Amino acid sequence: DLRQMGSPYEKKYIELTEEDRAKVTSVYHNWQQEGYEETYENVPEFCYSASFDEVKEKGFTLVPSRYIEFVNRDENIDFDTKMKSLQGELKELLVQEEKSKADLLAVFKELGYEIEL
């Protein structure tokens, strides 16, 4: 899965590590070899070997999303468990927000500039 490869830099880019590059080149070289059926396999969200007829059928477009299988991760999510986890995280954030607000009001009061809400 290419989305789990590399390390992020800047906001929207990743840089493939040496290990990631080796994986990609290994898959590519295995695919190019005679008898690749034994050493290569299609991997969802990573690679796909399309036949000439399949590429022709798609108007010779080489856009990866036309060929690569994508996994719907939403189907595997237990909604109730996810919501309870988010509920706990949100509660913690709201408690921290209230504490920060109280601390800020206390500082202003100590300085003689009390804020009445």
Check pLDDT > 80 for residue 115: yes
Per-domain residue ranges of the chain? 2-72, 77-110
pLDDT of residue 2: 52
What b/e string do you get for 34-69 counting C-beta neighbours within 10 Å, with b at 16 or more? eeeeeebeeeeebbeeeeeeeeeeeeeeeeeeebbe
How far lies 99's CA from each of 36, 72, 87, 106, in Å?
62, 39, 18, 10
Q: Does the pLDDT value for residue 1 go beyond 60?
A: no
Specify the pLDDT at position 12.
78
- pLDDT tier at 4, thresholds 50, 70, 90: low
Asked if the model's pLDDT at residue 44 lies above 70, the reply is: yes
